[in-house]
Amino acid sequence: MNVLAKAATSLAAGSRRSAASTTAGFLRHSSHFVYQPDAKAPIEGPTQKMNMFQAINQAMDIALEQNDSALVFGEDVAFGGVFRCSMGLQKKYGKGRVFNTPLCEQGIAGFAIGVANTGAKAIAEMQFADYIFPAFDQIVNEAAKYRYRSGNLYDCGSLTFRAPCGAVGHGACYHSQSPEAYFAHTPGLKVVVPRGPNKAKGLLLACVNDNDPCIVFEPKTLYRAAVEEVPVAAFESPIGKADVLRTGTDITLVGWGTQIHVLQEVADMAKKQLDVSCEVIDLVSILPWDKETICNSVKKTGRVLIAHEAPLTNGFGAELAATIQEECFLHLESPVLRVTGWDTPFPHVFEPFYIPDKHRCLAGIRKLIDY
């Protein structure tokens, strides 16, 4: 058998083993996390099992139903969008309220600002977070500053941008980026990142009803992987409030979005392998962020590891590290450690080596404990 034939046979056998392991309940090799649903629903009442894109769909449905001025628009949203988040909404609410736009992110943002300025609720989709940069000027120089430069006579409240972000297994440099830090440097904006269906629905409704322009970065790999029991009724999750998902005594682990599921698995590994008790915090809100919850935890544990998919240099973890150093210096038993993406464009075939997976995070915990 020649080399190519052997390779093909090996690949086929590997595919069969992969399929078998999937049906046996194991993760695909491309998954770098184990999704951990919230232990309970955020409010009382009837719930429905939903994945994250279904929860987002329901949130937009509620927003459109509750406010006749609400509009949903973006590239391909009329037929449901590339991730199906707006499925069925045009059929229910009509072409005048749910509609496609030209392939022009700057135009989408400019139109959204105008809609919000009239007092209507604008829910604009950027097809991928990687595509949001042509709209950067409109969001940063117009939307974020509208209230300030008009002396509070006008504002862009009820303006929400949705943007799928983060690693997905095959997205490469134009479909995998996490650009939250670019916008966190902009007073006047609010930026949030959900970890699953309940947070996605609650945060999206909170943003739609907020008095300032908001950006919801939605980890695209969670659209289908994340499944929870979600309340059917409308509810809002607070913007600017972190969630302590697990209490611990030895080290604080901070992340957001998909990374929070990596950190929860790492906390189990640290307890089992190192007998280290980890406190796990989902930052949830990038701007504003919950300094009090983070600092109180670090003062208790004395050690902190911050993990995010975005590159290390000037990633939002740097802001957390600086604040922790200022506020908690005398309580620290070791330096603040960041485990992040590398300072390179997001790779395709090398994605598994780029992302801050459980092995890199566990190594970081070991380094902090041994300091």
Catalytic residues: 105, 175
User: Looking at beta carbons, which pairs linking 60-63 to residues 24 or more positions away fall under 8 Å?
Assistant: 60/85, 60/86, 60/89, 60/123, 60/204, 61/89, 61/92, 62/205, 62/234, 63/121, 63/123, 63/204, 63/205, 63/208
For the chain, list the strands marked E by DSSP. Answer: 47-51, 71-74, 98-100, 122-125, 159-165, 190-192, 214-219, 227-231, 243-246, 251-255, 278-282, 285-287, 304-311, 337-341
Give SS3 for 309: strand
User: Which residues have a Cβ under 8 Å from the Cβ of 345 and sit 6 or more positions away?
Assistant: 173
Q: Taking the C-alpha atoms of 194, 195, 200 and 201 in order, what is their torsion angle to the nearest 10 degrees?
A: -130
